A and B are shown apart, each in its own frame.
Chain A
């Protein structure tokens, strides 16, 4: 699950956090995800506990509604339609029936109408202030809701409700000592008239006497070296909590000046702090998608970790043992994330150095990682100094320790190559494990676990077995064939095929122009093929038996990924600002499956995740997903927005967000309809059920297909009833039918578009190739010793 980064609201036993278009409820005791509050159609921007009923929570969303939930049972109580995108919500005990909302740059008080209906339109809006910071932590209610304090840039404003008067206090932008005084967050003391403000340069100011234009006063405290991200008073007002990029939670004793306590090394920078209503627990949310639960004695008692997706440099990998997704996690770590349970498993410390949370430092980061086929070995490359000229990198090999159920460091190779490592792969044979690395110094090296006479018998370290190069060209990629009998290394435009047993250069393959980008061997029945992609928009399939080009097609492929459990190869093609997905078998140039416009960004990382149990889906177009699911990661990682629950039908909702996203596409039909109308309750219901609660995708698919067809057979309906126990779909059914016929047409049309455009001659050639029977060749391979 992906935890939200906006707001964490605490209630003794539960943590609530926004997560995409839902609010997730976690237990503080077990750190387990209990359920989600689903219903918003756009990003949830803020939550606030209902001051009148502590079992209820308000949430506001960019879809223009405020919803009231019973968060223990996960029931939507009421929906208030405001009609404008909302950015934050504030409530106060003293203002019953009123919520304060950010609409644009305005802070607006909204009277919630008391009506028994489920959906009410709230029309009574009154503006409190028209200039408000877009940062929701820059607004806070004061003691007993008598006033509201909000800051924007360098000005602090305090609005008194009874007097209807605003007091403003300004700070200078900078002073001689280089202070940066812009406000970053605000908190108000619960019983005293004291406003705490955080500033860009890390200062915390405590304002008092703010009903005087001149005799107001403040004290300044300074510990943070970067901006204070969040401030929070404990409910009794005895302490003030603050956090920032340092990832240190600081507790300031209120009223005694300098006395403070620290809780360091919490992970990513602290984005938000909140305290439970009884003051016993604190919660911090972090930039690395984490919530930490902290006791009032300043001890961490729980961590709720989501998928870390800050900066993914490694490929997406599957740990063959745990079947967990492996990628960059905490800085310097690899994270193991169970896709099945949607849960973070653990972090493996690769760099084994303290990470300093400060901007602008060049620190070691894991850039490459690879597993061998059994999951017994893990190879990692960590690097520092990419930007500067003095590059430092280490190649590390980790072996799996059965006893500790974890990876332990076996070998560290300090100067594996003279220049940075571009790629590496393990041989895929079961008997011997071999690692091949290619580097920018023009060499590829093979590493083996050798028995060193000097060291003890049971400790086998890795050493270099072979160094190869080809005309001093720079290698671009490497790959082992399925049985590890062949190693393909691409040097610029040339693919070289080596025999790992004798290190003999068997052959070279070349199809200019264009530098080889990706290489992959076919699997199973297609293992005689080698697929390569070039930078000049060429996808080639080589027959290794004839050493000739089997077929080629002109398509720009940004990522080629083969399924280890089937013959299928997935290619992501990025053209005219959207990515298309093709799935094909190497033995025929015609795609099995095409999905136009998967997303709008370039895709650089993808992985096939084996299913626990293979599906036996008979639908031809989705058969390729029977054994594994395809996950991919888009390139645009700059906008790390909120997160969206990974649901199988994510695309259906048509939310093409400018954010990093993960999805799997289980069915042809689903994939072909990115612009599904949003109104359907059934679909939404279906989509928001957690993935592990859903019935198998095969069932879903057929149900889904049937829902898109004109439903006139009773048989279909019965299958649906079986699916959705809640039986809400009856009324929505009719609504769906209306648009179905239209979509049907589109679906048919898309099939034709699939094949890449080929010239007449090529087409003829292809037809000829297709007609030729290659079965004899398969026989040959099989008969090979």
Chain B
């Protein structure tokens, strides 16, 4: 496997933001996630929950609700505006003000014609969804207290609204209230406190289910406006409810961090006399669960602890596989770290600022596994605050360490970095070409002479960099295909090729000398999570969300023999069952047959010269190999060498001096920075 000196970097204080809302689109199998910092992410549920799209947030933009209307995604927040997103280019399309004060909830009807928002001033506002915009239609009867939660009856003729201490049912046609149902404040000390109906679900059979701050899940009949049954789920709040598509299962998320499932089962077998019965309890969160969604085969939940948990429902799954395992998503599936390999600089991307660090230096050599004495401590050189309210979408530092570039939704900024010994100075390049106004992904060429900026329509702009400034060179456009935003760029070492991958799984290869599209890699069904061009052979190595790997020879415009062998023989079960995507592909110039990959839990070196393992061979064989003699080792070893020494990896980078930089962000450190959870009595404590 080889020995490396490792820089174990733990000074990137990345803090994921808490999850505030979830919206599931059954038709496209996409899960939209809104976070506390206003960012919206789209996950592909049938592609191993790969994070396809990230729309960065803004300062002071608290999203309270998310709703799909067809394939369009809307959000509403406490700033009082309704926002539609341009998912193709991964940015905000427009925001209109609802003029009702802060908006607590937004929901679209199943017909896809209307959006309803619940406002602080007590109004439920209906918006008509037009082809390119939404338009205010009318208010329903105004209520005295704020509207916390809303749910459409599947027919679209009625709306249930959860408010303070009560639930109102509106007729959409007339706009009048049909029923007013009072939620009980509960016993004891909480009687003086208002009961907040945090969540409401309207079923097609007329049952209204509410979750409130008293900890009850209550079932109401909309014909009579009476309570049918109530379940005491928790001592704290029931914050979120979600019902499955066929309305036979309901999940409730509580502020204790538990998800409770209710099922609509017949009390007497083989009879239709069904009742909602509390069944399973899932404890995967430590903090408040702010949003739950029941998708076809799983329960998805997210909350203050910033992790997205996908809990599979085994009774709905046909075949058990890696795709149906419990999944916890902690880190974004994008790289937040870029590395100036030649000068030992690291650029960390935070939502509102960038940090530039110089790596430390160590002394001497140690035995494998030992830690070396640090001669020079790592040093924070620079903190760059973003101008404006938008958060950073992407950033990069050039390999030589002379340039820093970042882009928000509205601006792109390029800086020249001067670094003489201990004096750091930075100058902004003022006159940028107009096309470089915003980028979805940024990348420097390996000799730092060019900047590639992925922008709208899947195009890549090239700008040449020199002492004098930045000059637009040209635009690379794919010959055909979709206009989805590019999320990955890879430039070859010799400066000849550039590969781009977009969220429609297309990988285009451009010839930089001719500035023409060279070819397109055959589209694979799973998203590309990482790619790199081999410096010696100019083969493009691609990792996909389903853990498959492909090697494509750019010059021959075909898959390499090794790649075909991999596809023919199949990958080892253990490799395919990993649940985080590979985030970086690196090559070792000293050993051209080595490909270095990493995901959140491990670091792997694939030796293309060794035989591939099949399902019968021991996959994690490092320890076994150690105990064998040289001769036996040859027969036992296979191509995958996995190192699990490091955990919670954000980034791994191979430096020219054969040292590895491993950026870790231990989950325990994140947990300590979270606000304290609700105190719960634990048995025997």
List residues of chain A with CB under 8 Å of any chain B CB: 143, 191-194, 208-212, 214-220, 225, 255-259
Contact = CB atoms under 8 A, between A and B. Distances in A.
A208 B279 contact: yes
Contacts of B277: 208, 219, 255
A209 B231 contact: no
A193 B280 contact: no
B279 A217 contact: yes
B270 A192 contact: no
A747 B507 CA distance: 105
Nearest to A225: B683
B6 interface: no
A210 to B, nearest CB: 8
B209 to A, nearest CB: 15
Given A225-B683, A256-B231, A257-B232, A194 B279 contact: no
Contacts of A194: 267
B269 interface: yes
Contacts of B233: 257-258
Contact of A220 (B231, B266, B280, B314): B280
11 contacts: A143-B268, A193-B267, A193-B268, A208-B267, A209-B263, A209-B269, A217-B263, A217-B265, A219-B278, A257-B232, A257-B233
A178 to B, nearest CB: 13
Contacts of B266: 193, 209
Contact of B232 (A216, A217, A259): A259
Contacts of A217: 263, 265, 279-280, 315
Interface string B258-293: 000001011111100001011111000000000000
A215 B315 contact: yes
A217 B314 CA distance: 10
Nearest to A237: B267
Nearest to B275: A255
Given A192-B268, A225-B683, A219 B281 contact: yes
A218 B280 contact: yes
Interface in B637-685: 683-684
Chain A interface mostly helix, strand, loop or mixed? loop
A218 B263 CA distance: 10
Which 7 pairs, one residue from A and one from B, show the smallest C-beta to C-beta distance? A192-B267, A193-B269, A219-B279, A217-B279, A214-B315, A215-B315, A208-B265
A258 B232 CA distance: 7
Taking each of B229, B265, B269, which has the highest tally of chain A beta carbons within 10 Å of its own beta carbon? Answer: B269
Contacts, number: 56
Nearest to B248: A215
Interface of B: 229-233, 263, 265-270, 275, 277-281, 314-315, 683-684
Given A219-B278, A225-B683, 13 more contacts: A191-B268, A193-B267, A208-B277, A212-B315, A214-B315, A217-B280, A219-B281, A220-B281, A255-B275, A256-B230, A256-B231, A256-B232, A258-B232
A258 B280 CA distance: 13
Nearest to B234: A258
B267 A216 contact: no
Contacts of B684: 225
Contact of B231 (A214, A225, A257): A257
Contacts of A218: 279-280
Contacts of A210: 269
A216 B277 CA distance: 13
A202 to B, nearest CB: 10
A246 to B, nearest CB: 12
Contacts of A193: 266-269
B269 A211 contact: yes
Contacts of B231: 256-257
A219 B260 CA distance: 10
B152 to A, nearest CB: 28
Nearest to A209: B265
A216 B270 CA distance: 13
Contacts of B280: 217-220
Contacts of B232: 256-259
Nearest to A215: B315
B248 to A, nearest CB: 9
Contacts of B278: 219, 257
A192 B266 CA distance: 9
Taking each of A208, A225, A256, A257, which has the highest tally of chain B beta carbons within 10 Å of its own beta carbon? Answer: A257
A188 to B, nearest CB: 12
B265 A211 contact: no
Contacts of A214: 314-315
Contacts of A225: 683-684
Nearest to A144: B268
A193 B263 CA distance: 14
Contacts of B281: 219-220
A209 B232 CA distance: 22
A589 B277 CA distance: 79
A211 B270 contact: yes
B287 to A, nearest CB: 19
Contacts of A211: 269-270
Contacts of B275: 255
A217 B280 CA distance: 8
Contacts of A216: 315
A219 B277 CA distance: 9
A326 B410 CA distance: 91
Contacts of A212: 315
B680 to A, nearest CB: 14
B298 to A, nearest CB: 15
Taking each of B230, B263, B270, which has the highest tally of chain A beta carbons within 10 Å of its own beta carbon? Answer: B263
A257 B215 CA distance: 12
A112 B349 CA distance: 81
Nearest to B277: A208
B375 to A, nearest CB: 42
B219 to A, nearest CB: 12
A255 B265 CA distance: 12
A214 B318 CA distance: 9
Contacts of B315: 212, 214-217
A211 B267 CA distance: 12
Contacts of A259: 232
B149 to A, nearest CB: 22
Contacts of B268: 143, 191-193
Nearest to B270: A211
A221 B232 CA distance: 13
A217 B232 CA distance: 19
A255 to B, nearest CB: 7
B634 to A, nearest CB: 38
A208 B683 CA distance: 28
Contacts of A219: 277-281
A191 B266 CA distance: 12
A13 B416 CA distance: 95
Nearest to B263: A217
A298 B684 CA distance: 26
A208 B229 CA distance: 19
Nearest to A212: B315
Nearest to A210: B269
A225 B685 CA distance: 13
Nearest to B249: A217
B229 to A, nearest CB: 8
A212 B263 CA distance: 14
Contacts of B683: 225
B662 to A, nearest CB: 27
Contacts of A220: 280-281
Contacts of A256: 230-232
A529 B182 CA distance: 91
A357 to B, nearest CB: 15
A259 B229 CA distance: 14
